[in-house]
Amino acid sequence: MLREILEEPTVLEATIKAEAKTARKIAQAVKSEGYEMFYITGSGTSYHAGLASQYAMSKLTNFSTSILPASEFQRWVPLKVRRKVLLIAISQSGESSDIIEASEAAISRGMTLLAITNTRKSRLAKMSKYQLIPRSGKEKAVPATKTYVTQLMSIFMFAVELAKENLSTEMLSQTRNELFSAPQLVNQTLEFLSPQIQKLAEKYKQKNVIFILGSGPNYATALEAALKLKETCMVFAEGFATREFLHGPMRLVDERTLIIMLVSPDELETELELCRSLRSFGAPVVLITEKDVSCAGLFEAADDVVLAPSGLPEVFSPLLYVVPIQLFAYYNSVLRGLNPDKPEKLTKVVR
């Protein structure tokens, strides 16, 4: 798992080089063929990649986008879909029974498929009209790490190319270049944060109830963080949209819990008061944000502050904010005497 996390800058770069032109061609085809809306589906980590992608689609394009878990897709989608719809089906293996059944249901309703799968010859790829193939290479650890970030990169590239109608030529080029800076920034994040995350994992290795809060695109990161902690550390971990946590779940906060808050710079001042409030209930709070933020009381408001290198627009920030969480899950698992590569009861492909 650790090796695969450390490979993320390389596989992100490989995905850009191999799939950027394909993303552009598919975007051109989608616009010319008059699709009216997108569905997105996936399971587990792939679902979380889809949720972050829905945010990007909503911010960058004019397409209406809806996301459903693959296992629920055919139950929720009408039998008669009266618009021209593209289903973006996300799966690392392309073989999960849930994603295959969702894709078959979509085809039976007249939808067209775009597969985002790391496995070129998978069933999902073969049944899809369009394919984007994230270049993560084989992922051996059960918890998905490098496949997640390459899935994000693939769909973010697609979203940027769909944004041509909304952005000037100059702004489109700038947005594309900012996205393509992700491999370097992820590399900086790994180098800069690894020692600090190891210390945090040691400090909080006894915590068995962990809440992760995030908003905007990092609501998806909060969900993915909770999944990684469940898979690797066998703890109760739950992700929430930051403000939704106040509507009931905050009742569970006390000295036995750990709170991890993912806060983008534009939210920082408003979220520091919540941070202080949660600490007043006895819970330690770890704040993950970006370097070069200027906010009075930042280090006084949280027990620990993790400063990731900045540089990505908020819409692409899940590529960076997930990295310290992946490292924390790995180190915390090892310190608990567990094997994060092969969690008991879990398999790489759910059939």
3-state secondary structure of 313: coil
Instruction: Please indicate, yes or no, if residue 349 is contained in any of the structural domains.
Output: no
Phi and psi dihedrals of 287, rounded to 5?
Answer: -105, 125
Instruction: Please indicate, yes or no, if residue 348 is contained in any of the structural domains.
Output: no
- For residue 9, give the nearest of 232, 305, 272, 309 by alpha carbon: 309
CATH number at residue 252: 3.40.50.10490
In a shared domain, residues 130 and 190: no
Instruction: Please indicate, yes or no, if residue 232 is contained in any of the structural domains.
Output: yes
In a shared domain, residues 230 and 129: no
Count of structural domains, the chain: 2
Residues paired with 49 in a beta bridge: none
d(CA 224, CA 116): 18
What does each of the 351 residues of the chain score in pLDDT, given as a tens digit? 999 999 999 999 999 999 999 999 999 999 999 999 999 999 999 999 999 999 999 999 999 999 999 999 999 998 888 889 999 999 999 999 999 999 999 999 999 999 999 989 999 999 999 999 999 999 999 999 999 999 999 999 999 999 988 888 999 999 999 999 999 999 999 999 999 999 999 999 999 999 999 999 999 999 999 999 999 999 999 999 999 999 999 999 999 999 999 998 888 888 888 999 999 999 999 999 987 776 657 778 889 999 888 889 999 999 999 999 999 999 999 999 999 999 888 886 776
3-state secondary structure string across 50-113: HHHHHHHHHHHCCCEEEEEEHHHHHHHCCCCCCCCEEEEEEECCCCCHHHHHHHHHHHHCCCEE
Give me the pLDDT at residue 42, please.
97
> Dmax over Cα atoms in the chain, in whole Å?
56
In a shared domain, residues 149 and 193: no
In a shared domain, residues 194 and 121: no
Task: Name the residue range of residue 250's domain.
Answer: 183-335
In a shared domain, residues 32 and 176: yes
In a shared domain, residues 156 and 219: no
In a shared domain, residues 168 and 228: no
In a shared domain, residues 36 and 161: yes
Instruction: Please indicate, yes or no, if residue 341 is contained in any of the structural domains.
Output: no
Give me the pLDDT at residue 85, please.
95
d(CA 224, CA 198): 20
In a shared domain, residues 135 and 275: no
d(CA 322, CA 328): 10
In a shared domain, residues 175 and 233: no
In a shared domain, residues 140 and 247: no
Instruction: Please indicate, yes or no, if residue 343 is contained in any of the structural domains.
Output: no
Instruction: Please indicate, yes or no, if residue 153 is contained in any of the structural domains.
Output: yes
Whole-structure pTM value: 0.95
In a shared domain, residues 258 and 159: no
